Amino acid sequence: MASEIIKLPLINFSVPNLKPGTPKWNSIKIQVRQAMEEFGCFEASFDKIPVEIRKAIFDASTQLFDLPEETKLRCSSEKTSIGYLGRNHSALSPLYESMGIADADFSEQVHSFTQILWPQGNPNFR
């Protein structure tokens, strides 16, 4: 039995003068809806973000979600969208994981979050 490789939809948001109500906006809006309905996510392309920054973000995300489950669970919360939500939370989406930081716009909160996951520190995640 051959395994099937799923490729996420790539949606380009680098369209000049992309504004609500324009035909291109409506086309992209349809692409987003279809991607979310079929895959639950998509890859967004936006040429104003350098490739190096995108790679660094994906590398940091991989490093975060590759942590052991028991480590990630230290960042749990009763609040919706805050803390770690593991893969087994829903039979409808068994591969879904998320991690939300409360008050992520305050560097102290991000530092506290990082210390919970990496007590020894992590210079790549700040």
pTM: 0.61
Which pLDDT score, from 0 to 100, does residue 91 have?
63
Which pLDDT score, from 0 to 100, does residue 22 have?
93
pLDDT in tens, 35-94: 988 888 888 988 888 888 889 888 988 999 999 989 998 887 777 778 888 876 666 666
DSSP the chain: -PPPPP---EEE---TT--TTSHHHHHHHHHHHHHHHHTS--EEE-TTS-HHHHHHHHHHHHHHHTS-HHHHGGG--SSTTSEEE-GGG-TT-TT--EEE-TTTTSHHHHHHHHHHH-TT--TT--
